[in-house]
Chain A
Amino acid sequence: MPVWLEIAIRVAGVFVAFLTLPLIVGQTEHKVMAHMQGRLGPMYAGRFHGWAQLIADGVKFVQKEEVVPGAADKSVFRLAPAVALVPYLVALLVIPLGPGDLVAQPLDMGLFLVLAVVGVGIVAVLMAGWASANKYTLLGALRAAAQLLAYELPFVLAAASVAMAAGTLSLTGIVEAWRPWWLLWQLPALFVFFTAGLAEIRRPPFDAPIADSELVFGYLTEYTGLRFALFLLAEYVGIVVISALTTVLFLGGWKGPFASDTLGWLWTLVKVGAVAFVIIWLRVAFPRLRVDQLQKFCWLGLVPIALLQLILTAVVKVGF
């Protein structure tokens, strides 16, 4: 197979995943959330249990009028959704699906790259919030920036712990080094990473930047139509990326009780789905944290745990 064809196939694969997985997660969220609240959720679009609801939503969003506020900084306002999407797309490129070559772009420093690009998402939020020329969006953006800067630290520290344990920064290498007992040993890091990841993608209970009861809709208040849909897509791709990262770093990626080599990709998908389910579940079960509680939880809760985990990892790594 010529090189360019292989690259094209890999990129196309990532693109398909980029477009379908978020839709699946979104539809699951509709249904799971509804049933957890004693409702049914969408039932009509696409006949069977409303499976085509998100596609219908997409069609609706495309048809909607594109409203740009008169006082807005227009080009920045228009650019923000794209900036929100691109980092997650890049992150998906390096996440391994299965053993061997089943990754779009195997990189020596996959973990580092993912952490770096996920952090770029803040810029999009600041752009959206500031360019909308609205006090609620600005407050939302400032909250988001404070939150993301704070949670970046435990996020990176927890990832550093597992990278230290595996002795590599390559995501494929980390999965290969992973052993089932790491579940126990790296449990605090798993907790910290998952929670900080939730905060990084601003999912409930860490959705203070959006907080519809206080800030209308946070930094997304002024967005309509397709651009709003892109921000929503970014949120769901974010869920996929965080679930996939948690899976790869802490849950052993493609390793399962059996058939890890042949059905590895299935194990990865199952685990990603399970983590995504937990993310949805947390949204239904927990109320939103207040801004001060949010910062306190990060600095007094997650950061110390992450640091202790780093010490533990180092001790175990050097001692045994």
Chain B
Amino acid sequence: MTVTDVLVCALGAVSLGAAIRVVTTNQIVRAGLWLVVALGALAGVYLVLTAELLAWVQVLIYVGAVVVLMLFAVMLTRAPIGRSDDLDRPRLPAILVGGGAGLGLAAVLADAYRWSYIGLSGVEPGNAEALGREVFTGWALPFEVLSVLLLAALVGAIAISRPEVGERREES
């Protein structure tokens, strides 16, 4: 075990624990806050794995925007403080499916990599320069397509969430 391993293990444990709280807690807003912890710790793992830019993007987009949006939606849909009892379906099938997927994938990956070792010294850190070069040389077209996708999503979200034109007038 190297220092990196220890850090990954520790942050990973935090992340996994928080993730389990996200899917098991009975309090909706708490689930959102645990998601912040889980994704934040995941950003820490990225940082340890030299993916600097990705880590901060994760904090900026996920913690700063996505989770806030979710908490916002939870509060707008009148989440109660305290426990709600009707959040879950029957647990057993879900445990079977989720546990099967998780443990199965883990087994496959563990079998593929065993206890192989990779030195981090030769790895060029994934900073803004490296990722920028990567995205804008090899993946420029997908990048553009993505921006179109974002625009479409933006327009779609606005179109869905605005009240029907004219309807609001008549009501008030």
Which A positions have Cβ atoms within 8 angstroms of B?
71-73, 76, 108-109, 112-113, 115-117, 119-120, 122-123, 126-127, 130-131, 133, 138, 141-142, 145-146, 148-149, 152, 156, 169
Contact = CB atoms under 8 A, between A and B. Distances in A.
Contacts of B82: 73
A73 B65 contact: no
B136 interface: no
B72 interface: yes
A122 B27 CA distance: 20
A126 B75 contact: yes
A130 B68 CA distance: 12
Contacts of A76: 29-30, 33
Contacts, number: 77
Contact of A116 (B60, B71, B75, B76): B60
B81 A131 contact: yes
A76 to B, nearest CB: 7
A117 B59 contact: yes
Contact of B72 (A73, A145, A152, A156): A145
Given A119-B60, A123-B63, A127-B33, A142 B76 contact: yes
20 contacts: A71-B81, A108-B128, A109-B52, A109-B127, A109-B128, A112-B56, A119-B65, A120-B63, A123-B36, A123-B71, A130-B29, A130-B81, A133-B81, A141-B75, A142-B75, A142-B76, A149-B68, A149-B72, A152-B64, A169-B128
Interface in B81-124: 81-82
Chain B contact patch, size range: 20 to 34
B157 to A, nearest CB: 13
Interface in B1-37: 27, 29-30, 33, 36
B33 A108 contact: no
B135 interface: no
A299 to B, nearest CB: 11
A109 B56 contact: yes
Contacts of B71: 123, 126, 130, 145
Given A115-B60, A133-B81, A142 B128 contact: no
Contacts of A146: 72
A148 B60 CA distance: 13
Contacts of B72: 126, 142, 145-146, 149
B38 interface: no
Nearest to A119: B64
Nearest to A123: B36
- Please report whether the interface of chain B is mostly helix, strand, loop or mixed according to DSSP: helix
B82 to A, nearest CB: 7
A155 to B, nearest CB: 11
B148 interface: no
B67 interface: yes
B75 to A, nearest CB: 6
B41 interface: no
Interface string B39-65: 000000000000011001101100111
A130 B29 CA distance: 8
A148 B72 CA distance: 12
A116 B69 CA distance: 16
B75 A130 contact: yes
Nearest to A122: B68
A289 B28 CA distance: 32
B68 A126 contact: yes
A272 to B, nearest CB: 24
Contact of B63 (A71, A119, A130, A142): A119
Contacts of B75: 126, 130, 138, 141-142
Contacts of A108: 52, 127-128
Given A117-B59, A123-B63, A145-B72, 20 more contacts: A72-B81, A108-B52, A109-B127, A109-B128, A112-B53, A112-B57, A112-B60, A116-B60, A116-B63, A116-B64, A119-B65, A120-B64, A123-B67, A123-B68, A123-B71, A127-B33, A130-B71, A138-B75, A148-B68, A169-B128
Contacts of B56: 109, 112-113, 116
Contacts of B33: 76, 123, 127
Q: Which of A127, A130, A131, A141 has the most CB of B within 10 A?
A: A130
Contact of A152 (B36, B57, B65, B127): B65
A119 B53 CA distance: 16
Nearest 10 A/B pairs, CB to CB: A119-B64, A116-B60, A116-B59, A116-B56, A112-B56, A122-B68, A126-B71, A145-B72, A133-B81, A73-B81
